[in-house]
Amino acid sequence: MTGPRVVLVGGGHAHALTLRAWARDPAPGVRLSVLSPDRHAPYSGMLPGYVAGHYAWADFHVDLAPLAAAAGAELVLDRAVGLDLAAGRIARAGGPALDFELCSLDTGSTSEPPPLPGHDAHLHPVKPIDRFLDAWHRFLDRVAAGEVAPRAAVLGGGVGGGELALAIAHRLEAAASEAGVTLIERGPEIAAELRVAARRRLRRALAERGVVVRTGTEATAFAADGVATTAGDTVPAGFVTAAVGARPAPWLAASGLAVTADGFVKVDAQLRSVSDARVFAVGDVAHLTANPRPKAGVFAVRQGPVLHAALRAALADATPPSYTPQRDYLRLISLGAKRALALKYGVVAGGTGPLGALLWRLKDRIDRRFMADLDLSG
């Protein structure tokens, strides 16, 4: 086939939905490729539930193979390592570069703090999720074998870090009686982005679960027995993770695309790079210049169908549609056990009580429905 080639780089939420939309409405004569290091892409909204022990691995992984097949796309199992704009080519780690007429970037972000001593051996940031899960499973095995104490630490007291600390505490308590989890935050307060009432409920959930919260504290080194801190002590932990804000891969900035100071790809209202009309970017990796938003999966999800329409329009030399992100969204924060907090328009509901149990069921239903829509394996 010699039609134009469209390459979707990364199998994140937005691209999975783009494939779904493409399967329903394909562009004749177009060669579509998806480049993803793994056939299965994790859905982070259900990750804390998996860590807590509420879900199986398959529950929160999107199988890209049937999605790609339905869309008539070639699934290339590899990782992009560079973007050569002059040649219109994506370099990959394990094979020949892919030429493109149009490409879209949905490679997400990582949550790694700047490296400190012991980082490589003893820190397991939550993203990339596959690497986090490998380390988490190894740790659980060692806890089960009695080789290591059921103690963990989480760096980063944002909402993601709080959810993760609660999930880990829930899981470890089920595995052993003397579990201990510490949440380490360098700022004066955890979940600083939340309003006071929501923050208070998150704090209460952490306290009820026995998670120790250390604010105004930074890690200085990692070792097999825990995290050394700026307070001069060591937080005991056989497993240390981090959820310290999103960072994009450095090869994006190196490509010469217009990026923000921290390396996110600047896109216009059509999700198109402001510096190169052949390149689209969606999800965490994109910076919406017209309507900046925090990094959250809900935006990636809404962008999927818009990206499909935008690519179709670009292929037809038409003007792609505009994407306007929602101002606010229903935020459901899981609390370790099957409980959740709900936030919208500044109002907070739920927590560790009966309403929280109801909200967990709502979150569970929304998440499972999302996964079911992307499951073409049957």
Ligand X SMILES: Cc1cc2nc3c(=O)[nH]c(=O)nc-3n(C[C@H](O)[C@H](O)[C@H](O)COP(=O)(O)OP(=O)(O)OC[C@H]3O[C@@H](n4cnc5c(N)ncnc54)[C@H](O)[C@@H]3O)c2cc1C
Which position among 296, 348, 371, 376 is part of the footprint of ligand X (CB under 6 A)? Answer: 296
At position 277, the amino acid (one-letter code) is: A
Which position among 108, 156, 180, 320 is part of the footprint of ligand X (CB under 6 A)? Answer: 108
Site string for ligand X, 50-79 (x = CB under 6 A): -----------------------------x
Q: Check binding of 248 to ligand X (CB under 6 A).
A: no
The window from 12-20, 189-197, 215-223, 270-278 that contacts ligand X (CB under 6 A) reads 12-20
Closest CA to 240 of 162, 169, 154, 121: 154
Distances (CA, A) of 35 to 74, 97, 130: 9, 11, 16
Q: Check binding of 8 to ligand X (CB under 6 A).
A: no
Least distance to ligand X from the beta carbon of 363, Å? 8
Report whether 132 contacts 241 (CB < 8 A). Answer: yes
Which position among 6, 7, 8, 12 is part of the footprint of ligand X (CB under 6 A)? Answer: 12
Residue 207: its H or E element:
helix 196-209
In the block, which residue shows the tokens 């929160």?
A: 60
Site string for ligand X, 116-155 (x = CB under 6 A): ----------xx----------------------------
CA triple 79-293-20, angle to 5 deg: 50
Order across the sheet with 331-335: list the strands.
Answer: 331-335, 337-344, 347-350
Which position among 206, 243, 265, 288 is part of the footprint of ligand X (CB under 6 A)? Answer: 243
Q: Check binding of 20 to ligand X (CB under 6 A).
A: no
Distances (CA, A) of 368 to 53, 104, 344: 16, 26, 21
Closest CA to 292 of 333, 261, 253: 261
**Distance between CA atoms of 169 and 107, rounded to whole angstroms?**
29
Report whether 234 contacts 227 (CB < 8 A). Answer: yes
Total number of residues shown for the chain: 378
The window from 5-13, 233-241, 259-267, 309-317 that contacts ligand X (CB under 6 A) reads 5-13
Q: Check binding of 267 to ligand X (CB under 6 A).
A: no
Q: Check binding of 307 to ligand X (CB under 6 A).
A: no
Q: Which is nearer to ligand X, 105 or 179 (CB)?
A: 105
Site string for ligand X, 29-48 (x = CB under 6 A): ------xxxx--x--xx-xx
CA triple 223-42-25, angle to 5 deg: 155
Q: Check binding of 339 to ligand X (CB under 6 A).
A: no
Q: Check binding of 163 to ligand X (CB under 6 A).
A: yes
Total residues at the site for ligand X (CB under 6 A)?
Answer: 36
Residue nearest to ligand X (CB): 283
The window from 233-241, 260-268, 282-290, 317-325 that contacts ligand X (CB under 6 A) reads 282-290
In the block, which residue shows the tokens 């892409």?
A: 41
Distances (CA, A) of 50 to 9, 59, 190, 310, 316: 26, 8, 23, 34, 42
Least distance to ligand X from the beta carbon of 200, Å? 20
Residue 362 is encoded by which pair of tokens?
A: 């709502």
Residues near ligand X, by CB under 6 A: 9-14, 35-38, 41, 44-45, 47-48, 79-80, 106-108, 111, 126-127, 160, 163-164, 243, 249, 283-285, 295-298, 300
